[in-house]
A and B are shown apart, each in its own frame.
Chain A
Amino acid sequence: MIGTFSYAKFLKFLYSVPEAERGWEKSGVNGKLTAPLDWLYGLVRLPGRRIVTPVVNQMREAMATLARLQARSKAVGQQYYFRNSVVDVFRKKENDAAVKIQNWFRGCRVRAYIRHLHRAAIIVQKWWRSYLSRQHYQLVVKLAYYTMKMNLYNEMAVRIQRRWRGYKIRKYCFDYFYLKEYLRAVTETNDAIRDALEEFAEMKEREEKKAALEREEKKRDYQARKMHYLLSTKQIPGIYNSPFRKDPDPWELRLQKAKPLTHQRPRVKQKHSISLTSWLACTSNRSFPRSEILPPINRKQCQGPFRDIAEVLEQRYKPLEPTLREAEPINELKEAREDLRRQEWIRNVNDNMFLPFSSYHKNEKYVPSMHSSSKYGPNSYGCQRFRDENPKKWICPKDFQTVLPSFDLFSKYGKLYSKAGQIV
């Protein structure tokens, strides 16, 4: 220790000075005094301020102290350095210790803070999760409820459909009872048809038997008529009426009933003529007798404008007198040619044309004339314009036939029945 200088007392003194007069606070680091000497310097630097007398007294004391102190400043310096270096060793340790303590304390503080934050975060998260889960739970409940309802509906729908399908199949698609009815109806129809067919067959058999019997009867009847001469007479008993029999044979009775046959009249055969008048052949002979019938004798002439009966009959039974047009076919030329061809066909042994010997050496090929062999063809004038035959253009396969009207004016002259134009 340096003396009786007490730093604390000094400080007490300094701060007893009123505020307005503390000029030294403006100087130094951060406005604070760092060493006892700095006060002095600060004080010295005071610019022309008037110092108050009580203060000056105190200042004089202080200046004395100061002088004393300056005398011991070197030793103070040395002591100061010495003490600082001794303290230095501890200072590091104490610093470290202080750091450690502060470290730990800060750590505790931070941890406490973090713990606090954790708790807060947990609370927030807890609330948030519970909120989310509750929402989800509501969804799940909704879904389950909805599923349950749909299952119920499906179940009910299946019941309805089951009933309906059963009904539909049984009533419309495959009606078992209808099928049974139908089969029963078919059996009944079958039986009815079988009965009807049996009846029909029986009826036919009966008819056949009847027909056979009738034929037999007819045959026997005919035989009886033929054998009529075997009938028994009063004198001679017939074959079938033997005296040794009790009853006459049934044939006897038949013979009695039968009428004898008469001789067959020879049938006159009609002569077939193939003349043009044969168109009458299809009509009955009785309607048009060909022979001339003479009028009956002693016949009175009918009163009235009637013609003579002989004339009338003559007109009626006059044979057909066709005109030339009908009598001769119109295409007689063609027919005559055909006829000739047929005659030759009959006569000829060989159908080939008989060529004269002179044509044997004529084996040159025919050379057509220039007019007909040009590539432009023959001239159509005279060939294709006047009445040329072009069968490809016909609408019907047959050709027209030329038919000439006959001039009928004088063929019936004097032969007509009517008396028109005649001079009475």
Chain B
Amino acid sequence: MSQRQVLQGVMSLLRPLLLDVVPTIQQTAALALGRLANYNDDLAEAVVKGDILPQLVYSLAEQNRFYKKAAAFVLRAVGKHSPQLAQAIVDCGALDTLVICLEDFDPGVKEAAAWALGYIARHNAELSQAVVDAGAVPLLVLCIQEPEVALKRIAASALSDISKHSPELAQTVVDAGAIAHLAQMILNPDAKLKRQILSALSQIAKHSVDLAEMVVEAEIFPVVLTCLKDKDEYVKKNASTLIREIAKHTPELSQLIVNAGGVAAVIDCIGSCKGNIRLPGIMMLGYVAAHSENLAMAVIISKGVPQLSLCLSEEPEDHIKAAAAWALGQIGRHTPEHARAVAVTNTLPVLLSLYMSTESSEDLQVKSKKAIKSILQKCTYLPALEPFLYDAPPNILKHVVGQFSKVLPHDSKARRLFVTSGGLKKVQEIKAEPGSLLQEYINSINNCYPEEIVRYYSPGYSETLLQRVDSYQPLAN
């Protein structure tokens, strides 16, 4: 017999024990069922099919707290695997009893009930709505105010799971007055609690501008910035997620964050972590810089660009590199000063190599190409552009040559430097179709120089000179 069959046989044996006279047996049977269902979703399905749930729900209303905890544990274990199982739990009327359990005196029972509700609400918006309709949200907000830390954690996690699906659900949570309590608890020293609090606040703030403003009005800044210095990695990640969700809506909110010194804190946070933890911070910098050029300048003076280029070069994963490339593109695309600030840190060759490399994912290639294009269109810093002449593909070369043709006519020192560094030679070697934009740019560059130099550097000049030598008749005197 396979292991699964054995375990399912166990299920049918445990079922009658749930109604045993001795309460300890009942509790232990429930606990066993819960642990089995927790392990595997087939077993959870077996629990549902075996008609155990109505029994559990019935006795959940009646029995003592140990049984309630065990029964809520079973419900949680069944509900966490898939939306269908969670729906089965909702269909047998468990939500009302769980909500009644939330009003119990014992904090353990409340914790188990809140945990079960959180796992049910996690899957999709309909289940969340069912949980909200059962009246769970005000009770969860009351649970958050309880002194026990574990209960606070679970209640915060449940609120986070409820509010993450849609703006209406988040609004329901906000209407119950959750934000003030959540904001107070940011200062709590417990790391896991802070994780959940920050996650809940970010799920609320991500939906719309109004919700983000309400979160900001709860005076989380600058307290949230201390969370960015926490030892726990996930606290840092959730804190930067929260700041990102607030910053992405409007320029005013980003301005608020910049004025509170959030950008510097996020940059330091990026510097101190590695891997996926950095990702929300990188995206936050990109969102702030995308809104307006003043904000992008604020990011630049907070020393964000060296940090981002460091991320770009040393991170192994493609999606983080793509995010860093996108953020750099957003910073550099506004004005020549911004493009110069990005170009000075030598990020452009890195971006080019990422674009050209065949190993990068498509997303990374697309993002680095966009970043290069947007920065190049504003870049007037010629020393950074010169390497591009040598190894850029034609579609980027066009932009580079275009930039040169814009800058060279006005700057004589740049012209001299262009010639001495071999750029003019390279430009002559570029083959372009006559009449295309590239050819026009090349012509305008050639017009900045006297004809002899242009001819000197054009390819094949030595051959033409030698031909002239061959065909020259010396004057007979």
With A182-B294, A197-B226 known to touch, is A345 a contact of B268 (CB < 8 Å)? no
B229–A346 touching, CB < 8 Å: no
User: Are B226 and A194 in touch, CB under 8 angstroms?
Assistant: no
- The answer to whether residues A192 and B19 also contact, given A186-B298, A187-B301, A187-B302 and a CB cut-off of 8 A, is no
* B229:A179 contact, CB within 8 angstroms: no
- Asked if A124 lies at the interface with its beta carbon under 8 angstroms from chain B, I say no
Mark each residue of chain B from 259 to 279: 1 if its CB lies under 8 Å from any CB of chain A, else 0: 111111100100000000000
Residues of B within 8 A of A183 (CB): 297-298, 301
Which residues from B are CB-within-8-Å of A187?
Answer: 301-302
Does any Cβ of B come within 8 Å of A282's Cβ? Answer: yes
Complex CA gap A192/B262 in Å reads: 11
Query: Inside 8 A of A282's CB, which chain B residues have their CB?
Result: 105
Q: Which residues of B contact A179 (CB under 8 A)?
A: 294, 297
Known: A183-B297, A346-B16, A346-B19. A190 touches B263 (CB 8 A): yes
Query: In the assembled complex, which residues on chain B have CB atoms less than 8 Å from the CB atom of A182?
Result: 294
Nearest A residue to B264, CB-CB:
A190
Which residues of the other chain, A, contact B222 by a CB distance below 8 angstroms? 193, 196
C-alpha gap A182/B298 in the complex (Å): 9
Does the CB pair A193–B264 fall under 8 Å?
Answer: yes
Q: Does A115 contact B (CB under 8 A)?
A: no
Given A200-B226, A204-B231, A345-B19, answer yes or no on A194-B301 (Cβ-Cβ < 8 Å). Answer: no
- CA A282 to CA B65, docked complex, whole Å: 11
Contact at B297–A193, with CB atoms within 8 Å? no
Q: Which residue of A lies closest to B106 (CB)?
A: A282
With an 8 A cutoff between CB atoms, is A189 at the interface?
A: yes
Q: Which residue of B lies closest to A186 (CB)?
A: B298
**Minimum distance in angstroms from B397 CB to a CB of chain A:** 34
B57 to chain A, nearest CB (A): 13
A193 touching B265 in the complex, CB below 8 Å, given contacts A186-B258, A186-B259, A345-B19: yes
0/1 string, B299-340, CB within 8 A of A gives 1: 001100000000000000000000000000000000000000
Residues of chain B within 8 A (CB-CB) of A194 are: 261, 264-265, 268
Question: Counting CB contacts under 8 A, is A342 at the interface?
Answer: yes
- Cβ of B64 within 8 Å of any chain A Cβ, yes or no, is yes
Name which residue of chain B comes closest to A189, CB basis. B261
A179 to B293, CA, bound (A): 11
- Alpha-carbon distance A183/B259, docked complex (angstroms): 10
> A163-206: contact bitstring with B at CB < 8 Å (1 yes, 0 no)?
00000000000000001001100110111111011001100100
B371 contacts partner chain A, Cβ-Cβ < 8 Å: no
Contacts of A200 in B (CB 8 A): 226, 229
Contact yes or no, A342 B19, CB < 8 A? yes
Q: Contact: B260 with A189, CB < 8 Å?
A: yes
Closest to A205 in B: B231
**Contact of B23 with A by CB under 8 A:** yes
B468 to chain A, nearest CB (A): 57
The 0/1 profile, CB within 8 Å of A marked 1, for residues 219-257 of chain B is: 000100110110100000000000000000000000000
Q: Is the CB of B302 within 8 A of A190?
A: yes
Is A193 in contact with B261, judged by CB distance below 8 angstroms?
yes
Contact of A274 among B16, B64, B225, B268 (CB under 8 A): B64
Q: Give min CB distance, A344 to chain B, whole Å.
A: 11
Query: How far does the Cβ of B247 sit from chain A's closest Cβ, in whole Å?
Result: 15
- Which among B64, B225, B263 is the interface contact of A197 at CB below 8 angstroms? B225
Choose among A190, A192, A196 the residue with the greatest number of B CB atoms under 10 Å from its CB. A190
B294 touching A197, Cβ below 8 Å: no
SS class of chain B's interface: helix, strand, loop or mixed? Answer: helix
CA distance A21 to B16 in the complex (A): 188
A198 closest partner in B (C-beta): B229
Closest to A182 in B: B294
Most buried by B among A179, A182, A186, A191: A186
A204 contacts which chain B residues (CB < 8 A)? 229, 231
**Pair A201/B302 contact, Cβ less than 8 Å:** no
| Nearest-Cβ distance from residue A367 to partner chain B, whole angstroms | 35
Shortest Cβ distance from A194 into chain B, in angstroms? Answer: 5
Could you tell me the distance between the alpha carbons of A332 and B149 in the complex, rounded to whole angstroms? 41
Q: What 1/0 mask marks residues of chain A from 327 to 358 whose CB sits below 8 Å from any chain B CB? A: 00000000000000010011000000000000
Interface flags for B279-294 (1: CB within 8 Å of A; 0: not) read 0000000000000001
CB A274 to nearest CB in B, in angstroms, measures 6
Which residues on the A side are within 8 Å of B16 (C-beta)? 345-346
B68 CB to closest chain A CB (Å) equals: 13
C-alpha spacing A278/B62, complex, angstroms = 13
A200-232 toward B: CB 8 Å interface, digit per residue (1/0)?
110010000000000000000000000000000
Q: Tell me the minimal C-beta distance from B139 to chain A in angstroms.
A: 20
| Most chain A CB neighbours (cut-off 10 Å) among B19, B258, B302 | B302
Q: Taking CB as reference atom, which chain B residue is nearest A338?
A: B58
Question: How many angstroms between the C-alpha atoms of A182 and B255 in the bound complex?
Answer: 11
Q: Which residue on A lies nearest to B298, using beta carbons? A: A186
In the bound complex, residues from chain B placing their C-beta under 8 Å from that of A193 are: 222, 225, 260-262, 264-265
Bound-state CA distance A401–B323 (Å) is 62
Q: A256: shortest Cβ distance to chain B, in Å? A: 36
Q: Mark A300-321, 1 if CB is under 8 A from B, else 0.
A: 0000000000000000000000
Whole-angstrom distance between the alpha carbons of A187 and B259 in the complex?
Answer: 10
User: How far apart sit A194 and B297, CA to CA, in the bound complex (Å)?
Assistant: 19
Name which residue of chain B comes closest to A179, CB basis: B294
Chain B residues with CB under 8 Å of A191's CB are 264
Chain B residues with CB below 8 A from A189, complex form: 259-261, 264
Shortest CB-to-CB span from B92 to chain A, Å, is: 15
Q: How far is the CA of A204 from the CA of B235 in the complex (A)?
A: 15
Of all chain A residues, the one with the shortest Cβ separation from B261 is A193
User: CB-CB < 8 A to B23: which residues of A?
Assistant: 274
A186 to B265, CA, bound (A): 12
* Residues of chain A with a CB closer than 8 A to B226's CB: 197, 200
A34 to B228, CA, bound (A): 153
Task: Write out the residue numbers on chain B whose beta carbons fall within 8 Å of the beta carbon of A197.
Answer: 225-226, 228-229, 265, 268
Q: In the complex, what residue of chain B is closest to A200 when comparing beta carbons?
A: B226
What's the Cα separation between A200 and B225 when bound, in Å? 10
CB-CB nearest in chain A for B23: A274
Q: How far, in whole Å, are A97 and B231 apart by their CA atoms in the complex?
A: 145
Contact B301–A186 (Cβ < 8 Å) = yes
Residues of A within 8 Å of B231, CB to CB, are 204
- B399-458 interface (Cβ within 8 A of A): none
B259: chain A residues within 8 A (beta carbon): 186, 189
Chain A residues whose C-beta falls within 8 Å of the C-beta of B228 in the assembled complex: 197
Give the docked Cα–Cα distance between A183 and B258 (Å).
10
CB closest chain-A residue, reference B303: A190
With A197-B265, A278-B64 given, name 12 new contacts (CB 8 A).
Answer: A183-B297, A186-B261, A189-B261, A190-B263, A190-B302, A192-B261, A193-B264, A196-B222, A197-B229, A197-B268, A204-B229, A204-B231
What are 13 contact pairs spanning A and B, CB under 8 A?
A183-B297, A186-B298, A187-B302, A189-B259, A190-B263, A193-B260, A193-B262, A194-B261, A194-B264, A196-B222, A197-B268, A282-B105, A345-B16
9 A-B pairs closest in CB distance = A193-B261, A190-B264, A189-B261, A346-B16, A201-B229, A197-B229, A186-B298, A190-B302, A190-B261
Give chain A's interface residues, CB within 8 Å of chain B: 179, 182-183, 186-187, 189-194, 196-197, 200-201, 204, 274, 278, 282, 342, 345-346
